[in-house]
Amino acid sequence: MIKIYNKALNKSISINRHIGKIQGKQPGPTIVFFGGIHGNETAGVFALQNAFNKIKKESVKGTIYGISGNLKALKINQRYIHNDLNRLWLNGNLESLYLNDELSNEEEEQKEIYHLLKEIIKDNEGPFYFIDLHTTSSRTLPFITINDALINRKFSKLFPVPIVLGIEEYLDGPLLSYINQLGYVSLGFESGQHDELSAVSNSEAFIFLSLVYSGVLEKDQVNEFQNYYNTLKQEAENISKIFEVVHLHKISGNEGFKMKPNFKSFQDVSKGELLATSNKELIRSTYNAKVFMPLYQTKGKEGFFIIKAIHPFFLKLSEFIRNIRLDNLLVIFPGVSWKNRKKGILKVNLRVARFMVKPIFHLLGYRNKEVNEKDIYLFNRERTSKKKMYKRLKWYQQSH
């Protein structure tokens, strides 16, 4: 048991790995919430405890889990101790957890969470939903981040907040990318700035909407449902578009990066506008677009992202061509072959990749990548998605 403090609430609570677990008397979905994967992001943990105190067990269908993330980092309100816990979820790292005698703090935390995840998936039938609650160092609208799989898109569209996809292409080892690789619905929800009161209330609203949309609770059993919905809609300034990441400024080990003050996520920026300095050199936007998650904390390797809205036509087109598996034709191009067809992993020669248009890969569902000296490996989440688990559910069918 550890004690954590939230500045906005001016309150401390004691938690352990299980923030809560409620197993309903009736069968139903399994929904897993994570809070505090980053130790300076306490809003989700407090919101989960609030929610568990309000949920009536007799109303629950299925099972609800609330899991805390980086316990030692939460205790000292620091993003991480040795490594970013949300950048470690690669298959090679997971294998080494059981081979190494000496593990860092975050590897110890990861090992516990990994073991817990395997138990949850083994002990429950699903359908499964995984929700990771976060906050940001900058001011922001509440928003959802997803790996670009259709099951994630369809479920995310139920919420009255903007959706950002494609971030997995720029980050190595997020927890939700690993879970999405297993084929399950997985969403990240960023509720606001770390120490804002609204970050807690937005998280709580999102928790209850998730419970209703997943079928764990009935809408009429959540007295404040409409208030929760309206709160998120208002906080998101009625923006519910889908955006994609088009650029990341990655901070190198010795870089003296400093973001220009007062940027807010989803703020419009113009091409040539000054955004930050790096070792006293000016960094300007190369896009007319929106700045996203500008960094205003000492720990972190992502300086800022740039995002652009996706036209609804291309979203519909990508859904169509993914459903007919048009990506099978990619291997007719020279330098493109299957590394693992069943898992949707393409191997593309780097010389060829320069001439292949990036948006085409995106339309077909290929975003994640690994690069070596000669080749790039592109990962398609559609081929590993457990669509059969979700396709008969109301939210999946309504979004067709």
Q: What is the pTM of this model?
A: 0.94
pLDDT confidence of residue 383: 87
H-only helix segments in 15-167: 43-54, 71-75, 91-96, 105-123, 150-156
CB distance 266 to 140 below 8 Å? yes
DSSP-assigned beta bridge partners for residue 393: none
pLDDT (tens digit, 9 = 90+) per residue, 224-238? Answer: 999 999 999 999 999
CA distance 246 to 170: 9
pLDDT confidence of residue 252: 85
**Between residues 94 and 48, the one the model is more confident about:** 48
Please report the domains of the chain, with CATH numbers, ordered by start residue.
2-235 (3.40.630.10), 244-309 (2.40.50), 312-380 (no CATH)
CB distance 183 to 147 below 8 Å? no
pLDDT (tens digit, 9 = 90+) per residue, 229-266? Answer: 999 999 999 999 999 999 999 998 788 999 999 999 99
